[in-house]
Amino acid sequence: MLSEKQALARLATIRDGVTKTIRDEYEQKAAPCSKCLTPGACCLDAHFVNVRISRLEAVAINTVVDSLPLGRATEIRERIDRTITEFDLRPDAEDANKFACPLFEKGIGCLVHDLAKPIPCIVHACYGSAADLPPSAITETAELAIDRLNTQTYGRPQPLMPIPLAIRSNKLV
């Protein structure tokens, strides 16, 4: 068993490993985000974004949101609540759970980029060719390791939920 604090440290190590692999071996083949004509389109496109995360990842995100000045954190939590309502996010819906991510801030980017970015978001970039895409095994291996961390921390596997729902559910625990 692991304490939540130990598990969060191991989660950060997993995230850092994936970030390094993507940066060193794949990202140079993708369009640079710094020159993107539609920054954030990848995070705000409600026909596309369907990232699901576990309880431990939600704890990491909530830690970042809680560290912000109170007014800012409240604003983001209200945006999370609005997103859940607007896109009718439900833990048991497999297909329709797409949303515009409330963690994207215009002019800043992903609010959890440095400390709590979910694995599919780390792996994502705009590649010109399918041959340049990072293999899905990178995401799958990291997500399996995170699943094990959740079990070691909370005593049983934790369900994956759309980002906004996972963040709010964790806050209510």
Which residue's CB is nearer to ligand SF4, number 103 or number 149? 103
CA distances from 147 to 20, 26, 56, 60, 160 (A): 21, 25, 9, 14, 9
| Backbone CA torsion sign across 103, 109, 115, 118 | positive
Q: Which of 55, 118, 149, 162 binds ligand SF4 (CB under 6 A)?
A: 118
Which residue's CB is nearer to ligand SF4, number 149 or number 166? 166
Q: Report the alpha-carbon distance of residue 80 to residue 55 in Å, rounded.
A: 16
**What letters, b where the CB count within 10 A reaches 16 and e where it falls short, cover 94-113?**
eeebbbbbbbbeeeeebbbe
Q: Does 11 bind ligand SF4 (CB under 6 A)?
A: no
Which residue's CB is nearer to ligand SF4, number 58 or number 149? 58
Q: Report the alpha-carbon distance of residue 13 to residue 157 in Å, rounded.
A: 20
Q: Does 110 bind ligand SF4 (CB under 6 A)?
A: yes
Which residue's CB is nearer to ligand SF4, number 50 or number 151? 50
Which residue's CB is nearer to ligand SF4, number 98 or number 152? 98
Q: Which residues contact 136 (CB under 8 A, 6 or more apart)?
A: none
Min. distance of Cβ 49 from ligand SF4 in angstroms?
5
Q: Does 101 bind ligand SF4 (CB under 6 A)?
A: yes
Min. distance of Cβ 156 from ligand SF4 in angstroms?
25
Q: Report the alpha-carbon distance of residue 15 to residue 11 in Å, rounded.
A: 6
Tokens 């801030």 map to which residue? 105
Q: Which of 22, 42, 58, 167 binds ligand SF4 (CB under 6 A)?
A: 42
Residue ranges binding ligand SF4 (CB under 6 A):
31, 33, 36, 38-39, 41-43, 49, 51, 101, 103-104, 110, 112, 117-118, 121, 125-126, 163
